[in-house]
A and B are shown apart, each in its own frame.
Chain A
Amino acid sequence: DGGITQSPKYLFRKEGQNVTLSCEQNLNHDAMYWYRQDPGQGLRLIYYSQIVNDFQKGDIAEGYSVSREKKESFPLTVTSAQKNPTAFYLCASSTKGQGAAYEQYFGPGTRLTVT
């Protein structure tokens, strides 16, 4: 089955701890993305990567970090600097268009709760 996997589905952490969320895709997509979703709201872009070993900040990158060492993997670390880390985190991937945009495929999400 081709697709995007995120693990774990639910994650609980104590305040002050860093936590890393996993995202893996076997769609051979060049581009990958991380979004945050708060209750009753839309998706906000945290970081994105259009190619291995390169990534850019999205609209709400503060308190987060990413790496892109392999094409199929794009882990997100939520650091202790993130003031309100409790949220639903979604990873996505897409073909990298040459001057054109394409649909993004989403994983099932990880719900992070920090207390």
Chain B
Amino acid sequence: GESVGLHLPTLSVQEGDNSIINCAYSNSASDYFIWYKQESGKGPQFIIDIRSNMDKRQGQRVTVLLNKTVKHLSLQIAATQPGDSAVYFCAENMAPGGGNKLTFGTGTQLKVEL
């Protein structure tokens, strides 16, 4: 999900459906990736992370998939609930072995319809 200007990409899903949010990252040397959820007016909350030596990691109702060949990251949310409505950001650590600097994508707005 890239965006132009002030218009975030938006994903609308029905309550109970699965959501898939995509992210293209830029640095093939990035070794750590993380998804955050941000509700309006609040700080981002950690959802799940994955290191480059893995291609899949599962949490509670969430799964992150990493495809290093095409530099693509996705977040899958099972049985989406109204409380999942938020902006979701992916981030990559572009300084492997040299610190913990995260570079964030522009975000995707998830809207859950009842």
Contact = CB atoms under 8 A, between A and B. Distances in A.
A25 interface: no
A101 B44 contact: no
Interface string A73-101: 00000000000000000101011110111
Interface residues of B, number: 31
B97 A109 contact: no
Given A42-B89, A101-B31, A105-B46, A96 B3 contact: no
B43 A50 contact: no
Given A41-B106, A42-B107, A101-B93, A109 B31 contact: no
Contacts of B20: none
A96 B95 CA distance: 13
A45 interface: yes
Contacts of A105: 46
B42 A100 contact: no
Nearest to B102: A104
Given A40-B8, A42-B104, A43-B89, A103 B34 contact: yes
B100 A97 contact: yes
Contacts of A44: 104
A39 B41 CA distance: 10
Contacts of B6: 39-41
A109 B43 CA distance: 6
Interface string A20-49: 000000000001000100011111110010
16 contacts: A40-B3, A41-B107, A43-B44, A50-B100, A92-B43, A94-B100, A96-B100, A100-B31, A100-B32, A100-B97, A101-B96, A102-B100, A103-B34, A104-B100, A108-B43, A109-B43
